[in-house]
Structure 1
Amino acid sequence: MSFAKEKPIHSLIAGTTAGAVEAFITYPTEFVKTRSQFGGKKLAPLQIIRETLKTQGVLGLYSGCTALVLGNATKAGVRFVSYDHFKSMLADSEGRVSAPRSLVAGLGAGMTEAIFAVTPSETIKTKLIQDANRPNPQYRGLIHGTTMIVRQEGLSGIYRGLFPVMMRQGANSAVRFTTYSTLKQIVQGQARPGQTLPSTITFGIGAIAGLVTVYTTMPLDVIKTRMQSLEARSQYRNSFHCAYRIFTEEGILRFWTGTTPRLARLVMSGGIVFTVYENIIKLIGSGSSNQTR
């Protein structure tokens, strides 16, 4: 597939905006998914929602939201910039990028975002969600919670679960970008030359990419959540020990716990992120071209 190389600043602006919009809209599904993946009594998504609304109100569904919105905005910005960078490095002399090379570019983008954005924000979000469910929460919001975590555990406290996050984000981006790029190429092949795909089609392609991503990467997401929980240091030696304990004590299906809310989020996420990203790129591009006339 061939592509037009985006300016890094354009990718950063479009990606950051898309990530922030997507995170805020879909956060309740992320909250439910994270709550369902902790150890202990297994609750259905609707039970978690009813229990949270009863005890904490609507705002309870947004516990840890600020951490994810900021982290997701940064993550999406880093993801699109790094993906475009890796893609340009792997393109052939005619600017084409094969599906396997797109997979490698996505893998690199995912691991980059895991190190610079995802691990800290997701660790803090996970701890805030779990703490909010305690009888006597100790964290009073994002800043206080982050300060307390660093004070109690050091910087390693917000980098808990780095390995499974890198694996999950690498797999997420590899699968999502490859699926999206392949489907977009197929659809554009059926369209008239030069025709721009409507937002509804972009949203649909992004949603399908999100669907494929969920089922292929769910076990990594469960391990990531457990490694970032408040009890992780006392229960798991490392990610492999965590995976072993889940498998032997809870069964293989536990690796797909939280699939429904994550599916809801990533299907919407894929549609929202790619639609917002593509439209902002068009807007910035047309603005830049108008200024040069």
Structure 2
Amino acid sequence: MRARHGTGNRPLAAVGAVLLAASLALAGCSARGSDDAKSAGKADKGAAAAPQSGAAGDAASRPGDAGARKPPAKPALPPASHVIRTAELTLEVPDVTKALAAARAAADEAGGYVGDETTERDERGHVVSHVVLRVPEAKYDSVLARLSGTGKLLGRKAKAQDVTDQVVDVESRITTQRASVARVCELMDRASQLSDVVTLEGELSRRQADLDALLAQQASLKDRTSLATITLGLTASAPAEESDDGGPGVVDAVTGGWHAFATAVRWLVMALGAAAPFVGALAAVYAVWWWGVRPRRAASAPAADDSSETKSGTG
């Protein structure tokens, strides 16, 4: 019974061994195939890299050909500078109106405009004008030189302020703030509760206000850097007779003396006119005393003397 049982299990063991060997053979073939594919891929890459390295070697061996085939790299451009230019110019001109018209024409031809203008007369009656010109930064020097030649220079002050760092900083902050506003908008689109929406709306308003402030600052910087400011002061020249270039002459002395004499006579007449009422009143009082009071006193004086003599005789 035992021998029969052992012989019945032998075919089953043989079949199992055959299946195990077949599975191992298949696994080995698949692994070998993958290894062959990897090695073939590496070989292809090496073959593709070989011509490139060869071409690079040829290019290195022939520097003239390499330079002709590959253009030289362009140098990096420096960042654009942003400068605020201002100037104050004071001139003495023969005619303020004509000089003011010339200043307006210079600003218009340069592509600028007149920002502010004030014209008035000083205490001596001379016309004085102040005008603010805004001209492109590229035409700043030429306009300033043109204005300086229109009259006698009394004063000049120029200033240049580099705000490149400030402009770059504002641009960077604007980019960041815009991204922040966009994130809050996305959160509002996904918000489902009313409390979250209210909170996000407040945050969006605050960030949008900060963004608007940065945009306004950027616009102000752009305006001040693209257009230079020239403040021009115009004063009328003094007439020839009022100039102090020469000393007084004989005619000036006679003229001055005559004016002094006329002034003295005028003041004397004015003084007499002012004293006339008082002099008239005093004359009237004196006339009354002379013609009315004085004769009576003279007549009463002898009568008093006669009465005194009569009293002394009786006594």
TM-score normalised to structure 2 length: 0.20
- The structure carrying a bigger strand percent of its residues is 2
TM-score normalised to structure 1 length: 0.21
Structure with larger RCO (C-alpha < 8 A, sep 6+): 1
- The structure carrying a bigger helix percent of its residues is 1
